[in-house]
Chains A and B, each alone.
Chain A
Amino acid sequence: MVEMIKEGKIGMLEAYALVTVIIITKVFYTFPLASIKQTGTAAWYSTLISCACAIAFFVLVYLLLKRFPQKDLYQVFEAVLGQKIGRFLVLVFSVYFLYYAGINLSEFVNILKIYCMPLTPQEVLVAGFLIVTAAMAYVGLEGISRVAYILFYLIIAGLVLILLLAIPFYDFHYLKPWFGYGLGVTVKEGILRTSSYDTVIILAIIANSLQGLKNLKRVGLACLLTAGAVFSICLACVLAAFQYTAGGEYISGMNHLSRIIYYSRFFQRVEAIFVFVWVFASVIAVSATFYIALSSYCRVFNITNHRPLLMPFLFLTFAFSSLPKNMAEIIDIYVRFIRGYSLFLIVLAPVLVLLIAMLMGKRGGKASETQ
């Protein structure tokens, strides 16, 4: 059986805050650019198609966990696929989350260099960020989720503030033509971009730290609905402010939205609000996914204490963040993989495991069975 690090328990709101922040952080990066480039004026509802697919996926994950009470996703993998294949799959997940953390970090640092700190060497920014990540991963899941819970309100408030302040610059006629580049393209991209929501699977990975399966279902659905609403509204606002032509050009559409806010000569140039919100969200997202990668690895090899592995994993994250040579590679290759194609791993794996479990009639024991 996969041994667990003692992660403690986290509350419903903490779990909701943590996973929601992990999912919505990408709206501050190149997510609007990629969505608008692919789907044009239909970006705002293409993401709702992704959200619906993600909800369907999450329901399947919930059904899988329901078959195996008091087991989290990794334990279910082992129970259904056997020890070797199950642990191999967990190792693949660990590598994926490490890659996710590294590429997100690279994206964050590059955008930071473009918008705020052009002269600072990338390595210095990455190293500074990783020191914070290390500190958060050191304290573990409980610490990260509590930080997420506190900063969640600030992040949402900052985001809402930017969207509200930019209202005079919106013209929702720019959302026409309504079908973007065609309904076929919109639906196809909508389904592929379910990958943008697939980090909701973290709830299934930390299921034993939550307060029961019912809470897991509620938290998961709440996270997905919140993220869907945030993405849809942000994309609609970016389209309304910049049209699909310029909206598909700006590296960070949300940053540019904060730059055009102007009420008088006393109330302008408020993009500093955005930087705070963005950095808070990024720190939580990268730290949480880094921790998940680390704890997944520990569970494969029955390591009960994750702290000695912090340095090697930080080094690997640094390596992943150094993989992309430039911004174009980040957007068109690495991030495209995470937000466009990762569903073939993250979504497909649990769904296949569920199918196998159903076909082979495998079920978990009753609630009294220990981990």
Chain B
Amino acid sequence: MKLNKRTFLIKSVALLFICCLALSGCYDAKEIDQEVYALVIGVDKGTGNMIRVTFQVSTYKEGEGGDSGDSDKSSGELSGTVISTVEATSLIESINMLNSASNRQISLSQAKMVVFSEEYAREGVGRYIEPLTRYREVGDLMRVLVCRGRAEDYIMENKSLIGRSLSKDIELSFLQAANTGYYPDVFLNEFYVKLSSPYAQTIATYTAINDFDVLPEDSTEQNTVQPLPDLQPGEIPRKGGNKREMLGTVVFNGDKMVGYLNQNETRFYLLATGKFKRGLFTIDDPKSPGDYIVLNVTAHGVPKVTATFENGVPHIKLKMLIDIEIAAIQNRENYYLNPAAYVELEKYIETYFSSGILDVIEKTQKEWNSDIFEFGKYIAGNFRTIQEFERYGWREHYREAKVEIELNANISRAGYYYHPRPIRSDK
């Protein structure tokens, strides 16, 4: 009898255990089909104090994301996604309002990027970033972008031309940041942390739509071509392909956009902060005006930075090493056979990069007083306590800093050719 009672008790306890496993999560259980996932969020200025929020959500129809040419402006359908815009007082409220017009609940858990219009970014994005980071559904891995023009118009052109999946398309486009170095890859978490950081200011990716009207029709229109044109996103002289373009870095002071770095300045910025992976640089050939040398640059580790105070003035020294592979020499000069020319080219490259980086640092100091290079974290080592550091107010003193750069460039390879011969032309 006793054994039976005991066995019964043990089995009951075990059954209760199993029931707990089955019952937990019932309240929060949701079918995937019950929700619709916003891939892109756009924020524009609305009327008065309102904002206009645009959501691009994926549908569950066949051919989702691929450009089958299907679009219906009145319902906001675009190539397997639906774009809806609503005006509301806050971002979370806008989701609530759209839910009343949707048969599925809008979820932000798969959102890939948030796009602020430039007009809105210049007024301050802090009040809309905070709810995003506080809200449970939003992933910290969402990207932050600022677009020229309206975010709504930008999202209306956001479609995948290669492959069916728009979310994959968006993810892959951010990988290009590592391949070109033309724009930074900024996550929401990193953006938010720097908003309240005493060490540095925050940045975002600059983006726009290219209407394909920049490519000159007549090749004789321009007499000389600048190797380093200052381009804003949407201005790349090209035709065809995705209209969405990311180029450059938006610079913030606090939560307000104060300016931007163009694509070349962005690469110098990424090099100085150790975030540059690889990219092609086109520079003037010093021995042959009108010809160019194309360099495949790879950063060699993170720059070593030291920051000290001399007579109350912050002095910052950067030491960096870059690895160069010559991708093209238009005049076919053979630098390998002429060591002096080789060394001279290395020095020229070092000067090019050092002065480029210094110019960008100076620009951020003089024009915006915005330390996007995060020198503050090195300066912080000169203070003993947080109170001393915060009282000093590094972000206000950034413009006073004197910066020196010691950059070493090592031309390690020159592509397939070791000894290129001059091109013969018979007269």
Contacts and interface: CB of A to CB of B under 8 A. Distances in A.
B377 A176 contact: yes
B140 A260 contact: yes
A107 to B, nearest CB: 17
A307 to B, nearest CB: 9
Contact of B28 (A40, A116, A128): A116
Contact of A131 (B20, B192, B197, B383): B20
A242 B193 contact: yes
Contacts of A176: 377, 380-381, 383
Contacts of A134: 13
B281 to A, nearest CB: 25
A50 interface: no
A260 B141 contact: yes
Contact of B198 (A115, A128, A179, A245): A245
Given A131-B17, A176-B380, A117 B27 contact: yes
B95 to A, nearest CB: 15
A180 interface: yes
Contact of A177 (B23, B25, B172, B383): B383
Nearest to A261: B141
A131 B16 contact: yes
Contact of A121 (B13, B17, B27, B199): B27
A114 interface: yes
Contacts of A181: 385-387
B384 interface: yes
Nearest to A258: B140
A269 B377 CA distance: 28
Contacts of B385: 177, 179-182
B279 interface: no
B193 A245 contact: yes
A284 B292 CA distance: 67
A164 interface: no
B187 interface: yes
B197 A259 contact: no
A268 B171 CA distance: 12
A292 B364 CA distance: 61
Interface residues of B, number: 37
Given A120-B27, A171-B377, A244-B386, A115 B20 contact: no
A366 interface: no
B373 interface: no
Contacts of A121: 27
Given A131-B17, A177-B381, A260-B187, A246 B28 contact: no
Interface in B160-205: 168, 171-172, 175, 187, 189, 192-193, 196-199
Contact of A265 (B23, B136, B168, B387): B168
Contacts of B196: 245-246
B368 interface: no
B199 A138 contact: no
Contacts of B189: 256, 259-260
Contacts of B139: 259, 269
Contacts of A256: 140, 189
The B interface, classified by DSSP as helix, strand, loop or mixed, is helix
B344 interface: no
B212 interface: no
Interface in B133-152: 136, 139-141
Contacts of B168: 265
Nearest to B196: A245
A182 B25 CA distance: 45
Given A174-B377, A260-B141, A262-B187, A246 B136 contact: no
A115 B136 CA distance: 6
B24 interface: yes
B37 to A, nearest CB: 13
Interface string A234-250: 00000000111110000
Q: Output the residue of B28, B196, B197, B386 with the most chain A CB within 10 A.
A: B386
B421 to A, nearest CB: 43
Interface in A121-162: 121, 124-125, 128, 131-132, 134-135, 138
B198 A268 contact: no
Contacts of B175: 264
Interface in B111-149: 136, 139-141
B388 interface: yes
B378 interface: yes
B174 to A, nearest CB: 9
A284 to B, nearest CB: 15
B171 A265 contact: yes
Contacts of B171: 265
B20 A138 contact: no
A119 interface: yes
Interface string A180-212: 111000000000000000000000000000000
Nearest to A115: B136
B381 A259 contact: no
Contacts of A135: 13, 16-17
B388 A138 contact: no
A168 to B, nearest CB: 11
Q: Output the residue of A117, A132, A135, A176 with the most chain B CB within 10 A.
A: A176
Contact of B380 (A132, A173, A264): A173
Contacts of A46: none
A118 interface: yes
A296 interface: no
A138 B13 contact: yes
Interface string A36-47: 000011000000
B141 A268 contact: yes
B389 interface: yes
Contacts of A131: 16-17, 20
A185 B172 CA distance: 48
Contacts of B193: 242-243, 245-246
A301 interface: no
B377 to A, nearest CB: 4
B13 A118 contact: no
A178 interface: yes
Nearest to A177: B383
B136 A120 contact: no
A179 B384 contact: yes
20 contacts: A41-B386, A116-B28, A120-B24, A120-B28, A121-B27, A131-B16, A131-B17, A132-B17, A132-B20, A135-B16, A173-B381, A174-B199, A176-B377, A177-B383, A177-B385, A178-B381, A181-B387, A245-B193, A245-B198, A264-B175
List 8 A-B pairs, minimum CB-CB distance, nearest first.
A173-B377, A120-B27, A176-B380, A265-B171, A246-B193, A177-B383, A176-B381, A117-B28
Interface of A: 40-41, 114-121, 124-125, 128, 131-132, 134-135, 138, 171, 173-174, 176-182, 242-246, 256, 259-260, 262, 264-265, 268-269
Given A124-B27, A246-B197, 8 more contacts: A114-B136, A118-B136, A120-B28, A131-B17, A177-B389, A244-B386, A260-B189, A265-B171
Interface of B: 13, 16-17, 20, 23-28, 136, 139-141, 168, 171-172, 175, 187, 189, 192-193, 196-199, 377-378, 380-381, 383-389
